[in-house]
Amino acid sequence: MAKKIIHRTVIEVEVLSEQPIPDTDSLEFIAREIIHGDWSGKWGVTGEHELSGTEAVEAIQNQGSDPQFFGIDENGDDLDEEEG
């Protein structure tokens, strides 16, 4: 059974603002303030890593998602191949 590859990308956002940014602000709100508001900011990829098998499943579950969202089972096997 083939293991599906999931790409993990870490993106860092740096913001300059006159007031502290609450940790409850969403990424969407922060982006809007950088683009259209009173904040200055930049972002960049700080890490990339391929995940497969149980490593991928664990990362997906740690984000509160279900492996089936990516079309894999609890072992990281591609569900499309199981059906075929």
Number of domains present in the structure of the chain: 1
Residue 74 lies in a domain: yes
Is residue 52 included in any domain, yes or no? yes
Domain holding 35, by residue range, is 6-83
Give the pLDDT confidence of 48-68 residue by residue, as tens digits: 999 999 999 999 999 999 999
Shortest CA distance to 42 belongs to which of 30, 56, 58, 54? 30
The confidence score (pLDDT) of residue 81 equals 72
Q: Does the global pTM surpass 0.85?
A: no
> Would residue 61 count as lying in a domain?
yes
Residue 75 lies in a domain: yes
Assess if residue 1 is contained within a domain: no
Q: Report percent pLDDT > 70 for the chain.
A: 95
Is 33 contained in some domain? yes
